[in-house]
């Protein structure tokens, strides 16, 4: 083979999109919206082969674990054993309501404890168990409450997949006896509960206080709001297995028409959302160079003004659930239910009804193809 003078022969190489490994890396960077992979699979047989591989689906979920979309909300009525799904995304990303539903036998209420990494954690008082449910696969894991927990005093809990795990999960259970908080961790890989971990509560925390709402995961620590006359935050370090009580902002009370919940602040640290009637305050915990912690008041806004509620619609307004990765809160009003994004203050009306109860926003990466056109 010859070449004209002054020209160099280029080495033979595989075009980028003909290299399966490189194409795999490109496809992994698609948006985590539910329509992304079905659309990619429709391009050609080769793309369909790549994105339908179970290993690719696992890597795709891992890559977008910290930036999942809000697929919708799980809801239940006060005494119903049925968990229903209400989709919130628009077509072509709207997941059908019937795709995620759960019919539990027996009677009595179900308590939503947490939702994270595509798993839902519930307390089943009738069975004195907690249930870990994977809505994508339908898998259910019913776990006995470990000895040392008094469920009559109320329990809190969290579910998560540690590190790069896809199939294994951890459950953190919290209980209280008088002024002592107890935690215990279940590992699905080991199949057992760990040892009990305890810490005393400050004396000023009332006996009737409880764990309010779902926890928020900041770094390697879970944070729960302990409600009472003066709010405290319980931090559980997952790596060191240590419980610590953190003081909240001194101005934050949780009584009467006031509500508060822990959240992820704009800088990724620990925050608190405090709502009094329609006024919302977003607080951020700040650590200085000497390791000293303080609370800083950030954004404030009025819910009735933001949602354009008239005087008859603005009372009451109730926070029903928080999506931790998207920093969005579900708000119940007389005019219906709204999803409010706390950074951008953009909102979406989810329904006209105001009769739903016990919302649990569902943030996850959906890799299935069963979505609405």
Q: What is the pLDDT of residues 126-146, one digit of tens each?
A: 888 999 999 998 999 999 999
Contact indicator for 22, 16 with CB cutoff of 8 Å: yes
Alpha helices by DSSP H, listed for the chain, are: 20-28, 36-41, 45-51, 54-63, 303-306
15 confidence band (pLDDT: 50, 70, 90)? low
Contact indicator for 332, 349 with CB cutoff of 8 Å: no
Query: Residue 365's pLDDT is what?
Result: 93
Q: Domain for residue 74, yes or no?
A: no
pTM listed for this prediction: 0.88
Query: Residue 131's pLDDT is what?
Result: 95
Q: pLDDT higher for 7 or 41? A: 41
Q: What percent of the chain has pLDDT over 90?
A: 53
Cα–Cα distances in angstroms (integers) from residue 305 to residues 246, 247, 280, in the given order:
33, 31, 11
Q: pLDDT higher for 165 or 280? A: 280
Residues 241 and 129: their CA atoms lie apart, in Å, by 23
6 confidence band (pLDDT: 50, 70, 90)? very low
Residues 359 and 322: their CA atoms lie apart, in Å, by 9
Query: Residue 51's pLDDT is what?
Result: 92
Q: Domain for residue 50, yes or no?
A: yes
Query: Residue 8's pLDDT is what?
Result: 46
Residues 373 and 368: their CA atoms lie apart, in Å, by 14
Query: Residue 5's pLDDT is what?
Result: 43
Lookup result for tokens 């009804």: 353
153 confidence band (pLDDT: 50, 70, 90)? confident
3-class SS at 38? helix
Q: Return mean pLDDT, the chain.
A: 86
Calculate mean pLDDT across residues 217-242.
Answer: 87
Q: Domain for residue 316, yes or no?
A: no
pLDDT reading at 369 higher than 70: no
Determine which of 82-91, 199-208, 300-309, 352-361 has the lowest per-residue pLDDT on average.
Answer: 352-361
Q: Domain for residue 76, yes or no?
A: no
pLDDT in tens, 293-351: 999 999 999 999 999 999 888 888 888 889 999 999 999 898 888 999 998 999 999 88
Query: Residue 229's pLDDT is what?
Result: 57
Contact indicator for 36, 47 with CB cutoff of 8 Å: no
pLDDT reading at 10 higher than 50: no
What's the number of domains the chain is made of?
1
* Closest C-alpha to 369, from 17, 139, 57, 20: 57
Residues 234 and 225: their CA atoms lie apart, in Å, by 6
Q: Domain for residue 29, yes or no?
A: yes
Domain range holding 54? 20-60
Q: Rounded to 5, what percent of the chain is helix, strand, coil?
A: 10, 40, 50
Residues 306 and 308: their CA atoms lie apart, in Å, by 6
254 confidence band (pLDDT: 50, 70, 90)? low
């Amino acid at each position: 083979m010859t070449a004209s003078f002054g020209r160099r022969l280029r080495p033979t190489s595989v075009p980028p999109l003909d290299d399966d490994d490189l194409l795999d890396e490109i496809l992994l960077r698609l948006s985590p919206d539910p329509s992304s992979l079905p659309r990619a699979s429709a391009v050609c047989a080769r793309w369909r082969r790549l994105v339908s591989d179970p290993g690719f689906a696992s890597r795709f979920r891992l890559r977008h674990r910290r930036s999942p979309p809000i697929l919708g909300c799980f809801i239940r009525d006060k005494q119903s054993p049925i968990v229903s799904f209400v989709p919130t995304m628009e077509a072509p990303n709207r997941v059908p309501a019937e795709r995620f539903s759960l019919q539990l036998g027996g009677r009595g209420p179900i308590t939503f404890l947490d939702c994270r990494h595509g798993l839902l954690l519930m307390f089943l008082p009738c069975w004195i168990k907690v249930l870990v449910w994977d809505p994508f696969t339908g898998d259910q894991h019913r776990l006995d409450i470990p000895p040392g927990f008094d469920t009559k005093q109320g329990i809190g809990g969290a579910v998560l997949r540690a590190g790069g795990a896809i199939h294994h999960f951890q459950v953190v259970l919290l209980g209280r006896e008088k002024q002592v908080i107890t935690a215990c961790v279940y590992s699905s890989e080991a199949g057992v509960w760990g040892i009990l971990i305890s810490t005393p509560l400050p004396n000023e925390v009332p006996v009737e206080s409880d764990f309010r709402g779902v926890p928020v995961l900041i770094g390697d620590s879970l944070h729960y709001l302990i409600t009472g006359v003066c709010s405290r935050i319980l931090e559980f370090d997952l790596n060191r297995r240590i419980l610590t009580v953190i003081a909240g902002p001194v101005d934050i009370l949780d009584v009467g028409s006031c509500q508060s919940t822990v959240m992820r602040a704009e800088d990724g640290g620990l925050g608190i959302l405090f709502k009094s009637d329609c006024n919302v305050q977003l607080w951020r915990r700040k650590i200085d160079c000497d390791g000293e912690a303080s609370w800083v008041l950030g954004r404030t806004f009025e819910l009735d003004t933001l949602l354009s509620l008239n005087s008859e619609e603005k009372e009451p307004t109730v926070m029903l659930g928080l999506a931790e990765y998207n920093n969005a809160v579900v708000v119940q009003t007389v005019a219906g239910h709204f999803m409010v994004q706390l950074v951008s203050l953009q909102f979406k009306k989810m329904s006209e009804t105001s009769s739903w109860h016990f919302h649990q926003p569902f943030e996850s990466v959906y890799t299935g193809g069963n979505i609405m056109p």
